[in-house]
Amino acid sequence: MFQLVNEVREKNPLIHNMTNVVVTHFTANGLLAIGASPVMAYAKEEAADMARISGALVLNIGTLSETEVESMILAGKAANEQRIPVVFDPVGAGATPFRTEMSRKILNEVKISIIRGNAAEVAAITGEKWEIKGVDAGSGDGSIVELANKAAHLFGCTVVITGKEDVITDGGRTHIVENGHELLTKVTGTGCLLSSVIAAYTALEQDSVKAAATAVSAYGIAAEKAAATTAYKGPGSFQIEFLDQLSKISKEDEVYAKIKTTKE
């Protein structure tokens, strides 16, 4: 499975990120660290052209505007025409009606390969109830496996719900990943960067469940290694070490993977 980690480094896929202003720099550095090639392009005059030459497209609504969503739809449709995978991160869906509405618009107009969000965001686009505070998931009493399954069937794609445990499912096969570290919740953009890392892996692996599970586990392992030497200092040092560890992750790290397969 982790062969893919090395392949991304060897093949250096171009990843087109239409993402939010909070995480742009961190996302570009994180993608460089795993061996991918990041590009950000938003203007409606070029978004579709950039999507067409990329290995995968990321649509992230973290600081959305109506104009940006129009560009995202142009890029998404261009990617769909060329069968280029599109990853959707519905940041803050459910927090405001605008975010939920725009998420639904994107999902209606663009064929998405993978949705990656926290439980509250996935619940919001699926029409389920879950507490949300801004862009952070609150508590909910449902099962995240059931929620992910419901979303996968509803949108006909792979769904990744992250949190302490991560669920990856296409509605048929389901993996639960237990890698990661709590410090990831103290650095903004770690969910957004993960969506872009998943995009880099899915650019080279057509099996989107396998691509996403590998990406989520490798990412969590890098966080565990970073925390081992920086947790006592705090999130600032962790963030820097995390980028360093992402740049070293390789197929040899599969021994640290904690991936449970609940449905084959």
**Residue 35, binding choice from ligand TZP, Mg ion, ligand ATP, none, Cβ under 5 to 8 Å by partner class:** none
**What mask of x and - would describe binding to ligand ATP in positions 50 to 89, judged by CB under 6 A?**
----------------------------------------
Query: Contact with ligand ATP (CB under 6 A): which of 26, 130, 155, 219?
Result: 219
Residue nearest to ligand ATP (CB): 191
**Given the rule CB under 6 A, which of 12-20, 39-47, 188-196, 249-257 is the region that contacts ligand ATP?**
188-196
- Has 1 been labeled as part of a binding site? no
> Which of positions 6-65 make contact with ligand TZP (CB under 6 A)?
20, 22-23, 62-63
**Residue 20, binding choice from ligand TZP, Mg ion, ligand ATP, none, Cβ under 5 to 8 Å by partner class:** ligand TZP
Least CB distance to ligand TZP at residue 122 (A): 13
Of 135 and 151, nearer to ligand ATP (C-beta) is 135
Give yes or no for residue 91 binding ligand TZP (CB under 6 A): yes
Least CB distance to ligand TZP at residue 78 (A): 25
Query: Contact with ligand ATP (CB under 6 A): which of 220, 221, 226, 230?
Result: 220
Residue 17 contacts by C-beta under 8 Å, 6 or more apart in sequence?
A: 24, 27, 28, 31, 38, 39, 40, 58, 60, 196, 199
Query: Contact with ligand ATP (CB under 6 A): which of 35, 85, 171, 191?
Result: 191
Residue 110 contacts by C-beta under 8 Å, 6 or more apart in sequence?
A: 59, 72, 73, 76, 77, 79, 80, 86, 88
Give yes or no for residue 191 binding ligand TZP (CB under 6 A): yes
**Residue 23, binding choice from Mg ion, ligand TZP, ligand ATP, none, Cβ under 5 to 8 Å by partner class:** ligand TZP
Q: Would you tell me which residues interact with Mg ion (CB under 5 A)? A: 91, 185, 191
